[in-house]
Amino acid sequence: MNIKYRKMSPSVVKSLVSLLVCLALLKAANLLFYGSSEDGPRDQARVLRCSQPWHIFPTRAYGVDKDSPRYKLNLSIGVNQLNKYLYSREQLAAPNLAAGSLYIEDVFLAIKSTHNNHWSRIQLLLETWVPMAKTSVYILTDGDDPSLAANFGNGSRYVNTKCGASHKDKDLMCKLQVMYDLYMSKIEQYKWFCSVDDDTYINIPNFVKMLREYDHDKDWYIGKPSLNHIYSVKEYQLCDLFLLVSLKHMSCFRNGEFIKRGEAINNPDDTAIGYVCNYLLGVPLTSIPEMHSHLEPMWQIDPLDYHKQISISWGEVVASKVIVIPNRLSIRDEIPQFPVSVDPTRAYTFHCHLFPKSDSCRKIQDKLGALPDA
């Protein structure tokens, strides 16, 4: 039998080699961040901890001997102090709690979402920090959802903006405009305005404690830059979690004016906020280190500092064209935790670490299973 072989062209050879290299990199990345198939879901957190890409994102040294017997004790001290902090008017009758002049009920707290994220994201927030904020939370989305609306005052704090569901600038600015107009209609009820994305966990006691450090009768733009540079054209900064107060200077941005500002700079909602505050109103960004967006590597946060954080997030970090790193907290063995298979964002574990005796943590354990001893 005569078999004839056709010589492959150099371009075909090059393409095959590139394909093999990509497959090898993907396999290496999978083993690096998730471990081998023998590890199983319960060991994924351990593998991630042992294989963090410090060469991609440098981090500070913790400065704590994590093998010390005092480490677990130090973890509990911060959590105990957090749970004693008064943040809601409902706690005023509680013993041994000092009263404050501002409470979570004084904050208009809006969550931006989209209909496709209701089950995957909003449900998680409802099961963790949202119950601590109670009537302060509004959800602004782009579709009807009667079951979810029932969790927000029978729909009074659930707003179908009628905006588009895409992540395009126009649709994002549309939601911001509806959010801002809603706030202005209720401005007499609140001292602060806050907007967060639906992939954000807010530590409510620390959130209120931080706000008490600022005079709500003055103009503030508070958050943390989501990019490490300032826009050069107008020299303004933007952040993923922002607060605006004393908005008497911003009343002119009602009824579609925010949308016009976003269109003028051809940028989305968070950038438009930075543009309006920094450039038009001259209110600089007050950066808070304890606020974190999904653009930061969460594993850099020291577990000893978990109780100090105001917000965390989760998602993915794109390290290269072929490597995507899960962006989540790196929970140490000393902290009781749910398996990554049922808590991929680590938000459930984070919440129960901060508030282990809360009703919400008890309900989470009823759903996911009891937390194992550390």
Q: Which residues are catalytic?
A: 270
For 117, 248, 252, the CA distances from 281, given in Å and listed in that order, are: 34, 11, 12
Q: CA-to-CA distance for 245 and 194, rounded, in angstroms?
A: 9
Rg (CA), the chain: 23
Contact by Cβ (8 Å): 164, 170: yes
Compute CA 244 distance to the chain's CA centroid, rounded to the nearest angstrom: 18
Half-sphere exposure of 174 (CA within 13 A, CB side): 17
For the record, the structure tokens of 38 come out as 């023998």
Contacts of 364 (CB under 8 A, 6+ apart): 127, 128, 338, 348, 351, 352
For the record, the structure tokens of 6 come out as 């056709």
